[in-house]
Chains A and B, each alone.
Chain A
């Protein structure tokens, strides 16, 4: 039995070969890496990874199997998983069963260093080189759309509004750009009832809640004109908290600019400085775009890694946001209080 040999090819022509342990398919997307050492299932099911091929810098991936409780959405969103060493068969079988291409025995550090120095690139993951030679695949890669300018939230957002957690002292509306379940879980744990709305929805309905949470999500925020308009329409009417893409949309709504980072921030170890207190949070991150650095006072949090904006506070608008993931899942819980105190404040205000 000869195992299928697969590969990942970057648009610049670099090829990384390995062992195919997932679905037999050819998938296109943006090649990115994450430095988190735990939480592979949470990562792959995070809708923000839509249209991406995820390389794990962690040496061993899949060690502790899979569990329903670790789902961040209904299904995987990353299109391929790239690993140095697969740590368990259950994980490979799970990926295989869900149509995800999985490559093992890849020189992930070489891939990571390439992406770090050349930037995130369009790429293709091929499960079986015999069926799709590199040249053919690369031709197709160069025809793929780039992540810059890609509006992706429509494909991961809920089509209809629904109630995610019925009981609570306050009612929070999540605008779903690709929301992670951990956000719902943390809000619920903090005592909020949670309803989820589609990415474009009626601002009045949102404003009728006690608070609005703009969720995380994939792609470029700039083309999301309608979504930004909805945000603008609720600002000032109801307390708003943005996370990740939600933070970028809040920034756009407030007149800031966003731009594509060379290769993004993905991992569970980035320090973020709260400029108001001098305190440092170790954060979970996953974003390819950012709000342009600014010295403006409303930029409350800044990345100690590259100086990009990590959070806003607009007190007069009762709106704030963070670029990182306070809900964790995966990653450190240091920023849980951001969600908890927001819900508590909503309760106090109501």
Chain B
């Protein structure tokens, strides 16, 4: 049955900002779906608030809406576009939840929009505990039994072992496992106390059972195909997103595997998914073979992205085609071309996924893994054996030295792992100890690991093995175990095998290095850049070759480049690919910090870096040299010194003057950065770091500016000047930012431009340049220069309607800026980027902003004026600003002066003002009506505290700026309560001012597509100064 011709337009909902549990896998899914829907002639409309996605690029859909993913935002788009159908299965849980909301609000019926891919009934049957249990039981299978408990009286007689999950606590806080009735009682007691509504779910525990996932696809003729089986190494009890996983499953016999396969098919049928993919999770007892169905996601998922990359079977693409009426036998397999999508993939290699954690960013947070996901990214390794794949993935995590993480070293094996895996790892260790390079390589050990084990360096091992002719060979991922001839362009390396078809063809090649696993500070933004780089180099007539190891991304879609090497981004693997490809150039400026670490190896192996050379990176990163350059150019930096050890630091600080900022170099995302006000703080900050660090004078009360520019070695083009909402000191990745900058004086704006224009050529940048500056008391300081693509490039490109990555690639390939004919950017509107923070996952870590980046993702909103854009961005970030109610304020002394106007504005808007003693007296002093409330620490028994107020949902806005360490505990309790109650909690006074301004002045505005915005920008231009996109009315 071919595609449905009664449908003409299809709307796809994205998954919004990157959060833990929902990352760029949904961009990958969305892109694939949009591609095939357009090929089939459908008009496509996409809604997503995340500007760093490829799917929101203007060329990917007919209409692209960067709008908040809430009922109002999506309804607005549907009303304007009136699509025939809505495909809700590509945008994760966000899209499914929104779809149910749209349905319940009667909007789908009102607008005549048909749901394709999953009906509301299906979504409910998969999501609702009771309905799901019924569906599972109807096919003779079991879910873990569970019961909602609201009082200790109900614990008697509940079966153990059990898992207790409190309702509405942060990251499942207060939950846990109980093995006996007494333990259960204690656990329930604790859970009831922790849960703000005193409710827990007590569920039969199957902790320690093996956990499996099956990726299943069904078409409308009821044909069912299992795309991939995934086995979790960490058994039940550790979230699959946090587990090390392997595909295909390794430990089940055929009869055991077929039992799961049958169960998966039965569940997808019972839940009633008509077309598309589902992820079904199972627990299986190693001893008895008993099975429990844990959950089912009736949509594409993180696991389906992994399965797609693991097998070469593009699940999202196929799901989109099934949704518009095709059947599995009608859809060709991309890799073989000759077989259909009903051909189940078979693997002649093993794939291992390792989660990437970011615990180092959340001191105080619980490191133990449990039923709530905590990892922020993942890396995948492909090898011909389990250990080869395992060791690749293990080494691809790019751990920060010393950061706490599960399975930090090979011997640090988590509990409960199936003995088969342990045997395999022991076998690999034996091969390493054999002292034989060949055997060690065959087992999958990297040169660096071998070097470390044998007391030499990776480079030395490489030299020795190459002298013996030991080099990797490359194998193809073809989805069929070699049974069908496949011209796939998807490769991985192995050892001691034939090499499959070395690259031929006469086009020059460019190798693009990706950014590896997502982590805080280096995420989807860099993948966006890499994908555009591949597209641009292809358009320029090169063959684009991609190296990356992140299974979630668009860059590791084999459709993105001419050849994909799914390999770790370490010197060994990258150099081996370069040897094979003999590229005209290697592109290192788009993958964040990861490729920069490789630049030295690449150049010393004789390959050319296309665009900005390593020397420029070194010059920018080496503070001594950069400092000298800045002096030479007459550019001001905050006073600084490089020091090693506490004594040197204290001495330098006396010269620089407090407050100082402690920062290790060569890091991203402000890792381990601390602001210190005095000797004591400095001493403790220095104790936490090793090696040389940089001490910077911390510029107080400064406006922070981010500039993204292009340089061809001589000329500079300023693409975007963005102003941060929060002051300098809040990491640029965590603060909201506005484009064009709103409050720069003309003189400052000109100086910023001047600084960037001198820095570009002086550093030797050929491509993108990002400069961060702070402006205090009309003085412009350069905080840092990054001669590479920055996190803001996608946001800036979309806001100004100019693709900065494409321009950078052309420059890197030899064009001059003058050749590109870029117009000065004149955005017609104001765009705001807001960050999304994962604090709710890390109970125990204080949710305040600081110089260390902790956000996982971002949203964008545009409007004709700042308040409207800001309010929309906050909505998109999941923190809709209240328009009435009660505002609670408690600020540190330094902010007392600035808090009065904020409170006055709120009072003027009709808010009731509540404050703690100090703040209250300031506000009263300013003539405001304030209700005073006790801090937790000061409250006498029974007295109502601010935390109670928040918990009782009697507070609609929290403004709390952290006092020094003394009030930490109290502030923490307030902020945590706000997080749990989902009350917007603002921790800087500048953020508060922006919010209040937005509450007062935001207007209702209908959604506008990116295509229309760009068109408008091109015809109208902005009211702002054409110079920099900066207005001079400050």
Contact = CB atoms under 8 A, between A and B. Distances in A.
Interface stretch (B188-196, B477-485, B910-918, B995-1003): B477-485
Given A84-B384, A271-B342, A113 B482 contact: yes
Contacts of B261: 332-333
Contact of A278 (B251, B258, B327, B483): B327
Contact of B483 (A35, A63, A88, A329): A35
Interface string A19-62: 00000000000000101111100100000000000000111100
B348 A57 contact: yes
Instruction: Say whether chain A's binding surface is mostly helix, strand, loop, or mixed.
Output: loop
A38 B257 contact: yes
Contacts of A117: 485
A70 interface: yes
Contacts of A59: 347-350, 384-386
B339 A280 contact: no
A57 B254 contact: no
A59 B347 CA distance: 7
Contact of A42 (B224, B254, B345, B349): B254
Taking residues whose C-beta sits less than 8 angstroms from the other chain, chain B's interface range is: 35 or more
Interface of A: 33, 35-39, 42, 57-60, 63-64, 67, 69-70, 84-85, 87-88, 105, 107-110, 112-113, 116-117, 267-271, 273, 278-280, 282, 304-305, 328-334
Nearest to B222: A279
A135 to B, nearest CB: 22
Nearest to A282: B344
A21 to B, nearest CB: 14
B342 A280 contact: yes
B255 interface: yes
B258 A328 contact: yes
Given A116-B483, A304-B340, 7 more contacts: A38-B253, A38-B254, A85-B386, A87-B250, A269-B346, A271-B225, A279-B223
B342 A304 contact: yes
A333 B262 contact: yes
B259 to A, nearest CB: 9
B475 interface: yes
Contacts of B475: 109
B250 A60 contact: yes
Nearest to B341: A271
Interface of B: 221-226, 248, 250-255, 257-258, 261-262, 327-329, 339-340, 342-350, 384-386, 420, 423, 442, 475, 480-485, 496-498, 500
B254 A329 contact: yes
Contacts of A267: 346, 481, 483
Given A63-B250, A280-B342, A304-B340, A112 B348 contact: yes
A65 B343 CA distance: 28
A57 B252 contact: no
A38 B252 contact: yes
A109 B344 CA distance: 18
Given A84-B385, A269-B343, A279 B221 contact: yes
Contacts of B262: 333
A57 B498 contact: no
B832 to A, nearest CB: 49
B251 to A, nearest CB: 6
Nearest to A40: B254
A39 B254 CA distance: 5
21 contacts: A35-B346, A35-B483, A36-B254, A37-B346, A38-B253, A42-B254, A57-B346, A58-B348, A59-B386, A60-B386, A84-B348, A84-B384, A107-B496, A107-B498, A108-B348, A116-B485, A117-B485, A271-B339, A305-B343, A331-B258, A332-B261
A113 B224 CA distance: 29
Contact of B339 (A64, A304, A329, A331): A304
Contacts of A70: 253-255
A27 B407 CA distance: 45
A305 B480 CA distance: 11
Nearest to B476: A109
B387 to A, nearest CB: 9
B225 A304 contact: no
Contacts of A67: 253
Contacts of B480: 35
Considering residues B251, B346, B423, B498, which has the most beta carbons from chain A within 10 angstroms of its beta carbon? B346
